[in-house]
Amino acid sequence: MTTGALTHESVLVIGASRGLGEAIVEEYTTRGAHVMGTARGAAPTLLHDFARRSDGQVEIEHVDIDDPTQLAALAERLAGRVFDLLFVVAGISLAPMNEIAADIADKDFGRMMQTNVLSVMRTVERLQHLVHPTGTIAVMSSGQGSVTNNTSGGFEVYRATKSALNQMMRSHAARHADERRALLLMAPGWVRTDLGGPKAALEVSEAIPPLIDTVEAQRGIPGLRYLDRHGDAVPW
Ligand SMILES: NC(=O)c1ccc[n+]([C@@H]2O[C@H](COP(=O)([O-])OP(=O)(O)OC[C@H]3O[C@@H](n4cnc5c(N)ncnc54)[C@H](OP(=O)(O)O)[C@@H]3O)[C@@H](O)[C@H]2O)c1
């Protein structure tokens, strides 16, 4: 693991019950940050297990980002708190690789767009005031959100959600062009999680440390960037 000076000492991770979000909580905690992670319900999760072992360095909050009432309540509970980094990681994939528009159920298409695009952006809009004026707002996108790089197809709806998310972050960035925060769309690579599946190329332990190195290097550079875990720009 890389250990440099920590530029984000207080971190809020939305969607941290398992997978990449939980790993980001662990990585930042290990590097010495104070971290708050969110889970949807009160049921025990990997985040709860880790928080129990973390000697008070990890706080747990609860939010289902698909529920605007819960998002507003979270914003109210956190009023007055300041985080160096807000990282919105929550996301879903409901359609198998080969499912195309002709086949996908309307409700699955709607749920994916709802969670991966609308709810993620609502989270950014609702919680951005908690981020330090020179802090960072990161959102977990995907390399599959790149329109330019889509020469193979596959996961067509999931790709479309991440492209739409990227587009909405560009609009957000345009509205906040005079602010000093770093805005990041991150592409972690294909990682073995419940969402990534067992055939993914990378272990979580291979993807998250370089991804956090990249996020750490971006603090203080205003404006929006779409980056892979190594810090290289992903073509839009
Ligand atoms: N794994 C990959 O290869 C890969 C590659 C590129 C991008 N990504 C992106 O990385 C992010 C995390 O993916 P992952 O691989 O870690 O997936 P995962 O293991 O399935 O975890 C998804 C996380 O998102 C949370 N979540 C889903 N819907 C939510 C909602 N409505 N409100 C709050 N939390 C919600 C889940 O909470 P629950 O436990 O409550 O369901 C869980 O913590 C996603 O945005 C995904 O698109 C993943």
Read off the pLDDT of each residue in 175-187 and give the average, rounded to a whole number: 98
pTM of this prediction? 0.98
Nearest to 173 by CA among 211, 225, 219: 225
| Residue 234 domain flag | no
Range scoring the smallest mean pLDDT among 1-10, 52-61, 71-80, 217-226: 1-10
pLDDT digit string, tens, across residues 115-170: 999 999 999 999 999 999 999 999 999 999 999 999 999 999 999 999 999 999 99
| Residue 3 domain flag | no
pLDDT above 50: residue 1? no
Residue with tokens 């290289």: 232
What CATH number is associated with residue 151?
3.40.50.720
Query: 47 C-alpha vs ligand 1 centroid, how far in Å?
Result: 13
For residue 202, which atom of ligand 1 is closest to its CA? 3
Amino acid at 89: V
| Residue 1 domain flag | no
- How many structural domains compose the chain? 1
Read off the pLDDT of each residue in 15-20 and give the average, rounded to a whole number: 98
Tokens of 35: 């971290």
Query: 14 C-alpha vs ligand 1 centroid, how far in Å?
Result: 10
For residue 200, which atom of ligand 1 is closest to its CA? 3
Please tell me the distance from the alpha carbon of residue 31 to that of residue 84, in angstroms, as a whole number.
Answer: 14
Is there an atom of ligand 1 within 6 Å of 19 CB? yes
pLDDT above 80: residue 65? yes
Please tell me the distance from the alpha carbon of residue 30 to that of residue 24, in angstroms, as a whole number.
Answer: 10
| Residue 235 domain flag | no
pLDDT above 80: residue 2? no
Is there an atom of ligand 1 within 6 Å of 146 CB? no
Q: Are 114 and 165 in contact (CB under 8 A)?
A: no
Report the DSSP pairing between strands 131-140 and 58-62. Answer: unpaired
For residue 41, which atom of ligand 1 is closest to its CA? 40
Q: Which domain holds residue 53?
A: 10-228
Beta strands in 89-234 (DSSP E): 131-140, 182-187, 223-228
Among positive and negative, which fits the CA dihedral 181, 145, 96, 197? negative
Q: Are 135 and 222 in contact (CB under 8 A)?
A: no
| Best mutation site among 192, 193, 205 for ligand 1 pocket (most ligand atoms within 8 Å of CB) | 193
Please tell me the distance from the alpha carbon of residue 173 to that of residue 225, in angstroms, as a whole number.
Answer: 10
| Residue 236 domain flag | no
| Residue 94 domain flag | yes
Is there an atom of ligand 1 within 6 Å of 135 CB? no
